[in-house]
Chain A
């Protein structure tokens, strides 16, 4: 307890919430009753009407009383999400398809934008304006690396095509 010889008066509120009982204790279970052991024993809130498709975890028997209605499943990503929700939260088959669905959903988002006559402004959506303002060198380096990678791939591919062509020649 050497530290306690120090003077902590310069730190506002030092020790104000010290609690020897919290070692470590929160949350302590309250006095539990048999009713609390028997699943959904509480008086459930009114059920929100289910007016959009809601996928629910198979680790619960129902849909929670309230839920969000943002972006219901649709398109190919929706098909993948429906597949994912056949598996429990304990399974890779739940989470990995969801990550895949998210990526598919990004492409669907771009197609949807185009369908509505909106060309996404990628530079702006990625917030590059802020990066240009505060870190020009970093942004230019990033673009240079990307350009070099693309150029490298193009060179490799065209070299391969040339080789194929040479082989055909032989």
Chain B
């Protein structure tokens, strides 16, 4: 029984539930069904990825291999296809972030399985280095960024949290990633981003440095040459895709991703 309050209002005059109004007619499962590939060997893998069922992913992959499919080709032909369904429905607002995270876990399990079967590593879309600013241990935002990048086919060097500036520089020198990401919750730790920027510039690197999180804002990130501000974790794979398609021009990246 709903509790009665002293002041009884008609909420429809006070607020608008835009999300309820905009809700899609289809359930997420129905929407996914329309996007799955028709190939009878690929379909169960893609569906298991969407459902985040790791055991079903491996089982589906084994059947596909038994039927003659190449393990390495299955990464792009089945796992990434399944993740593509997940990413599209997330971007369309049909499913929530935990669905993506569970699907990404299942996909990584599938990739490990296929690597073992093939005995070699697959080609990846590109390499990205991710870290949380020195002095800052809040890493849930970075973890989401890492999962979304991996889900989109990128090889991520995850340096973890509270990462010293020099370690970030050394990793960039060693790995030559197409992009560096940094997250921070606190204003005093995000100042490390500027130090990283300055040291990279000194060494002649012009790598896009995607920054976001808690107290980080576009004005701050715009102050240093390599900085590109990401408002949402889901901007990270979009930025990486943009770099692959259009090059690492930071002015263009800012035009595309800076919203304010």
A-B complex is real:
no
